[in-house]
Amino acid sequence: MKGILKFAFAACLAVVAGSTSLNAQTVVLNGLGSSGLFLELGLGANSSSGTLKASCVWSEGSNAVIASDTSTGSTLQDKGSAWVAWTTGTGTGASCTSPAANAEVYAYLSTDSVVGNRCLYNSNLSTSQCSIAYPAATSTTGVTSAGLILPAGTIVPPVPPSTTPTITLANCGTTGECALPAAIVSALNAATVVNFAGTDIRPEDAEFAITRALANCGSVVGSSTQYLGLGYANGSTINTAVAGSTSSFNVINFALPSTVTVTPVGATPIIIAINDVTGTGLGSFSNISSQALASFFDGTYSFANQVSTSPTATGAAVTVYVREPLSGTYNTMEFNVPNRVGTLGGSFATSQDVGLNQPASQRNCTVTSPWPVPATTPSAVLKTSLNFTTTSGGSRLRAIGTGQELSAVSGATTGDTLGYGFWSAANFAGFAGKTTAKYYTVDGIDPLGVSGTIPTTSAQLANVHLTTIADGQYPIWSMLRLVNVGAENSSVAALAASAQNFSVAAHPDFVPLDDMEVVRSHFVPPSQTLTASDGSGSATFGSNKATACSATETGGDVGGVVIGLKTNSLSQSPLTLSDESFCTTNSATGQTGHRR
């Protein structure tokens, strides 16, 4: 049933008519963030076997839910798909369509990891500067659902002379979605403070992402690091280069609060997806090395034949799509592949935007010399859309959001395209029936275990395994987390625990904590002052894990060196010993200490 429910995001619309309670229901969780957590969190909130047991669910995918940030002096908005789950409450006549005053509400807006962290922190300032608004509903008819979490109902148009449509409920409150009642909308819109965020990078890494974005173009971020500023202004936008789209991304500054609680949920890989429409280019290969991947993302390579271990600058031109530099997906890719620790003139220390070893003609803003660069270097020619064309006829283009990035690859009708996204069945559903598309292994390691076929059907998904993520062999992965300001929020912890129940053999979107054999080492990101601490951040990692590595984690960890939690039983794993002593005795003091 879980597998069936997860395919319901493609189902049709539903409307539920009925009266709603006018009492004020309690909004327990009001959050936003990573798309990689969207489906599992919704299912977790709804689950009858979980703690929250919010049996009533609504979702929408038309960007009608809006997060507004006023911290720059202007109102800047971020939109995305959303779900709301609520209990009926108790009392005479209490139901999904007419919830009682003691009903509890849980809500999540799918934006991006850095947007989630930023809105959470700016919302919790002394005067809230970020809030989420839900679409209005009439008192008698709720807001129609989209079936992104559970199946939706159907609407049959009225048969004249009647003007009333026939509404078929999808078992609202049992196995199907409901319309969003006006009372729930009112409660959500009265909840001006955001109290949790979903993220696929640590809060410290999210703060470094905005620090780097706002640093002067080409200037060194921190003290003697390999990381160069991108030159954006606070309140500016990053634009898409995808034809026919006007999507953009807001660049808004934020700072970490004094205390945050980070609750791990599970680990998921970034998948390298390609589409070779002609069948004579990228489709000829099944594996790509990290070095070759870095060269495609920084613009050095643009021919399909350069995927080869003996690359030749001939053959089909490649269109490469990269994400906006404030997304968790971008940063996970950036610091695991092109901008991993490297040397000047070497294979890495490059970037998808501005890197030490990046070709000058492919940098996303003006620099005067490769190293060091004066802090006052202007950013007048900053290419916010990242629209580069190479001599081969290939290009490197910006996509905004996971949906646009992956649809640009899956929807290509000519040539060769390459892009990436965090794995989930929902994220990659658009590849169904795309026989010219597939995914690459990286450095010879398969992230999904299905030999390049992008799994979209139930039969294909049943064969997916994430063992190379659980043991840390696959190089591009990150931990999914929930974040709240202050001490641990028990409802956030309950939602994280419930979500893990829905990453199962028939539909594995991420590796639950109990199956993780590794974590990443932590470090102090440039321009931050803190004490890094290695650990898993959770005592709920599986049995026989090293207790020291279950300690509280602090500091950035995106791209960190893999640390083994216990003696590894997976035969293909190179890890044979626990790194408990490392977790006990080592805390990185360098700005990128222990990054891979």
Q: How many domains does the chain have?
A: 3
Judge if 112 and 175 occupy the same domain: yes
pLDDT band at 18 (very low <50, low <70, confident <90, very high): very low
Spatial neighbors of 271 by CB under 8 A, at least 6 apart, are: 420, 421, 422, 423, 428, 439, 447, 448, 454
The answer to the question of residue 208 being in a domain is no
Q: Kindly report, residue by residue over 341-400, the tens digit of the pLDDT.
A: 876 666 799 999 999 899 888 999 876 555 455 555 555 568 889 999 877 788 999 999
Residues 447 and 308 in one domain: yes
Task: Tell me, yes or no, whether 504 lies in a domain.
Answer: no
- Per-residue pLDDT tens for 560-587? 988 877 644 443 344 434 555 666 555 4
Q: pLDDT digits over 163-186, tens only?
A: 665 556 678 988 899 989 999 999
> Could you tell me if 310 and 447 lie in one domain?
yes
Q: 161 preceded by cis ω (within 30°)?
A: yes
Give the residue among 104, 191, 115, 177 at the shortest CA–CA distance from 147.
177
For 265, list phi and psi in degrees, rounded to 5: -115, -45
In a domain, 500, yes or no: no
Lowest mean pLDDT among 127-141, 144-158, 320-334: 144-158
* pTM score, whole prediction: 0.89
Distance, in Å, from the CA atom of 167 to the CA atom of 95, rounded to the nearest integer, reads 18
H or E element in which residue 266 lies: strand 260-276
Is 311 in the same domain as 176? no
How large is the C-alpha radius of gyration of the chain? 24
Q: If pLDDT is split at 50, 70 and 90, which confidence band does 15 have?
A: very low
One domain, residues 273 and 375 = yes
Residues 444 and 527 in one domain: no
Please give the pLDDT value at position 14. 32
Between strands 477-485 and 318-322, the pairing is unpaired
> Which residue matches tokens 């619309």?
13
Q: Which domain holds residue 76?
A: 2-199
Instruction: Tell me, yes or no, whether 150 lies in a domain.
Output: yes
Give the tens place of pLDDT for each residue, 402-411.
Answer: 999 999 999 9
Of 442, 470, 498, which closes a domain? 470
Q: Does 410 share its domain with 523? A: no
Burial class from Cβ neighbours inside 10 Å (0-12, 13-18, 19+) for residue 101 reads middle
Three-state DSSP class for 207?
helix
Distance CA 226, CA 504 (A): 40
CATH number at residue 462: 3.40.190.10
Residue 227 included in any domain: no
540, 409: one domain:
no
Question: For tokens 């979490």, what's the residue?
Answer: 149
The domain boundary residue, chosen from 470, 494, 525: 470
C-alpha 149: how far from chain center: 17
309 confidence band (pLDDT: 50, 70, 90) = confident
Quick check: is 115 in a domain? yes
Average pLDDT of the segment spanning 516-521:
86
Query: 150 pLDDT exceeds 60?
Result: yes
Q: What is the pLDDT of residues 410-442, one digit of tens each?
A: 999 999 999 999 999 889 999 999 999 999 999
Q: At residue 335, what is the residue type? A: F
Same-domain status, 272 and 169:
no
Query: Looking at the structure, do residues 193 and 271 belong to the same domain, yes or no?
Result: no
Q: Which residues contact 203 (CB under 8 A, 6 or more apart)?
A: 117, 256, 260, 262, 483
* Cα dihedral 484, 488, 489, 495 sign: positive
Q: Within 13 Å, how many C-alpha atoms sit on residue 155's CB side? A: 16
Gap between the Cα atoms of 357 and 139, Å rounded? 60
Same domain, 521 and 466: no
- Based on the fold, state whether residues 66 and 183 are members of the same structural domain: yes
pLDDT at residue number 16: 31
* In-domain check, residue 505: no
**Looking at residue 373, what is its pLDDT?**
53
In a domain, 215, yes or no: no
Q: Is the pLDDT of residue 317 over 70?
A: yes
Q: Pull the structure tokens for residue 402.
A: 């996971």
What's the pLDDT at 570?
41
Tell me what pLDDT residue 214 has. Answer: 94
Q: What is the mean pLDDT of the chain?
A: 85
**β partners of residue 65:** 80
Q: pLDDT of 243-279, one tens digit each?
A: 999 999 999 999 999 999 999 999 999 999 999 999 9
